[in-house]
Structure 1
Amino acid sequence: MGVADNWVRPYQPGSGRWVVIAWEAFALAMLSWATVRQFDLIGHGVRVVACLLAAIWVVGAWRVLQLGVYVSAEGVLIRGLLRSRVMTWREITGVRMHRTTHRLGPWEIESGRTVLLERRDGGTVNTELWEQGVDFHSRPTVFKAVYQEIRNRHRRAADST
């Protein structure tokens, strides 16, 4: 399956993405300043460092804005920070919520729910949809609605085959 032009993200991105982008700009500005100071750069050296880190910021900000899960009649497109993945509805046997926990020594720390896609081979794929993430942290009903939308699209695709 090729990348279709009809991918839609079934939710509006959260405002937290802009906080991430601003934080990236601040961190890269500090890195630029530290690099210039550390290596006593002047003139062209300063411009090269500034332009290089600005280009990295632009690419990173664009990817942050594009992050997410997109759906179409053909399947699911998961856009991550570094790579994207396309799965057809035929490759997916189920869509489920998963309660995420992290272990810290003897303690288990709950960190909310995520949406997983179950593959035909028995494996699972994380969709990057996280209840506590920048898109859904203060919008739990949107998180549940997106989960239901993906499940419904999967169910309709399975019924049509």
Structure 2
Amino acid sequence: MADNWVRPYQPGSGRWLVIAWEAFALAMLSWATVRQFDLIGHGVRVVACLLAAVWVIGAWRILQLGVYVSADGVLIRGLLRSRVLSWREIARVRLHRTIHRLGPWEIESGRTVLLDRRDGETVNTELWEQGVDFHSRPTLFRAVYNEIQSHHTAANPT
């Protein structure tokens, strides 16, 4: 696969809010752990260093999240894993309207971009119209969808 992956959008500022929130949550976890177990000295430093390392790794992954395209395929970077699909594997790129049911009510939560593979599997791209990258930029979501679709069409002219 290609080495020249390009994310067809700039990440939203909401990612920094998520990273800040995670820092606060891990600081509270560190404080609670130290208090709960009456840690002192090296124990405090070990807990602080472990949780700081978790935060740094998590923040890096949050900044790298997204969909990247190249002439060869699409790279989907999630929080815990990444997935590469060649354009030949993808039958179509489509928008999906997400609806959650709560008893008799339906709650619409925006659209997502899905990739239908030729083997029948559907792959979620993690691109969500109401997500941190597109919530305040609805036209960007549609532009990213169109760009992914045009890459797919260019790779599969049939």
TM-score clears 0.5: yes
1:87 aligns with 2:94: no
- Give the letter for the 2:128 counterpart: W
1:158 aligns with 2:144: no
In structure 2, what is the Cα distance between the partners aligned to 1:91 and 1:63?
A: 26
Question: 1:55-134 residue pairs with structure 2 within 5 A?
Answer: 55-134=53-132
Instruction: Give SS of 2:130's match.
Output: coil
Q: CA deviation at 1:106?
A: 1.7
The residue aligned with 1:44 is: 42
In structure 1, what is the Cα distance between the partners aligned to 2:6 and 2:133?
A: 16
Q: How many residues align?
A: 158
Q: CA deviation at 1:23?
A: 0.2
1:144 aligns with 2:142: yes
In structure 2, what is the Cα distance between the partners aligned to 1:55 and 1:105?
A: 42
* TM-score (normalizing by structure 1): 0.96
The answer for unaligned runs of 5 or more in structure 1 is: none
- Spell out structure 1 runs of 4+ moving beyond 3 A: none
- Give the letter for the 1:33 counterpart: W
- Give the letter for the 2:74 counterpart: V
In structure 1, what is the Cα distance between the partners aligned to 2:136 and 2:6?
A: 22
* TM-score (normalizing by structure 2): 0.98
The residue aligned with 1:35 is: 33
> RMSD of the alignment, in Å?
0.9
Over the matched positions of the two proteins, sequence identity in percent amounts to 85
Instruction: Give SS of 1:121's match.
Output: coil
Q: CA deviation at 1:5?
A: 1.8
The answer for unaligned runs of 5 or more in structure 2 is: none
In structure 2, what is the Cα distance between the partners aligned to 1:154 and 1:107?
A: 36
In structure 1, what is the Cα distance between the partners aligned to 2:101 and 2:119?
A: 28
In structure 2, what is the Cα distance between the partners aligned to 1:107 and 1:60?
A: 35
